[in-house]
Amino acid sequence: MFIWKIWSIRNLWTFEGVRADLMIACSKTLSLLGEFEAAQTRESGPLTASDAPSEQSWIPPVPGIFKLNIDAAVSKDGKVALGMVVRDQWGDVLMSGSKPLARQCSVIEAEAEAALFGVSYAYDAGFRKLEITTDCLPLLKLLESQSQERSPVQMIVFDTLDVISKLDSHVFSFFPRCCNKVADSIAKLSLSYIEERIWMEDCEFSVLPLVLADKWYELNSKGQEIFCRSWLPKEGDQIKGVVCFCHGYGDTCTFLFEGIARRIAGSGYALYAVDHPGFGLSDGLHGYIANFGDLIDNVIEQYAKIKDKLIEFSFNMIGRPELQGLPRFIFGQSMGGAVALKTHLKEPDQWDGMILVAPMCRVSEEVMPPALLLKAANLLSNVIPEVKFFPTQDLAELAFRNEKYRKLAYYNMICYSDRVRLKTAMEILKVTKEIELNVNKVRSPLLVIHGAGDKVTDPNVSKFLYENASSKDKTLKLYEGGYHSILEGEPDEVIFTVFDDIIKWLDARCTA
CA dist 66 and 304 (Å) reads 31
Whether the CB-CB separation of 265 and 271 falls below 8 Å is answered with yes
Q: Measuring CA to CA, how many Å separate 357 from each of 209, 336, 457, 483, 498? A: 29, 9, 10, 11, 10
Residue 389 sits at φ, ψ, to 5 deg, of -115, -55
31 pLDDT above the threshold of 50: no
Instruction: Indicate if the pLDDT at residue 107 is higher than 90.
Output: yes
Looking at residue 301, its amino acid is E
Classify burial at 483, counting beta carbons within 10 Å of its beta carbon; exposed 0-12, middle 13-18, buried 19 or more.
Answer: buried
Q: State how far the Cα of 134 lies from the Cα of 120, in Å rounded to an integer.
A: 15
Q: Work out whether strand 388-390 and strand 420-421 pair parallel, antiparallel, or are unpaired.
A: antiparallel
The predicted pLDDT at position 472 comes to 95
Q: Are 116 and 72 in contact (CB under 8 A)?
A: no
Least confident of 18-32, 250-264, 459-473: 18-32
311, 218 contact by CB (below 8 A): no
Listed in order, strand segments (DSSP E) in 190-327 are: 197-200, 216-219, 225-231, 241-246, 269-274
Q: What is the pLDDT at residue 394?
A: 74
Average pLDDT over residues 310-334: 65
pLDDT of 266-302, one tens digit each? 999 999 999 999 998 899 999 999 999 999 999 999 9
Name all domains of the chain by residue range, CATH numbers in brackets. Answer: 2-210 (3.30.420.10), 216-510 (3.40.50.1820)
Q: What angle do CA 94, 396, 273 make, to 5 degrees?
A: 50
Q: How far apart are CA 419 and CA 421, in angstroms?
A: 6
Q: H or E stretch including 86?
A: strand 80-87
Distance CA 470, CA 437 (A): 13
Q: Is the pLDDT of residue 339 over 60?
A: yes
Question: What's the pLDDT at 479?
Answer: 96
Return the higher-pLDDT residue of 502 and 55.
Answer: 502
148 vs 235, which has greater pLDDT? 148
d(CA 385, CA 424): 8
Catalytic residues: 334, 454, 484
Q: Is the pLDDT of residue 386 over 60?
A: yes
pLDDT in tens, 111-132: 999 999 999 999 999 999 999 9
Q: Give dist(CA 435, CA 35) in Å, integer.
A: 42
Name, of 380-384, 399-403, 468-472, the range with top average pLDDT. Answer: 468-472
- Catalogue the long-range contacts made by 37-44 (C-beta closer than 8 Å, 24 or more residues apart): 38/234, 39/64, 39/65, 39/66, 39/129, 40/128, 40/129, 40/168, 42/234, 42/235, 42/236, 43/236, 44/129, 44/235
Q: How far is CA 504 from CA 189, 499, 501, in A?
A: 47, 8, 5
- Determine phi and psi for 10, rounding to 5 degrees: -60, -40
Task: Please provide the average confidence, as pLDDT, over all residues in the chain.
Answer: 83
Question: b/e for 332-362, b at 16 or more Cβ within 10 A?
Answer: bbbbbbbbbbbbbbeeeeebbbbbbbbbbbb
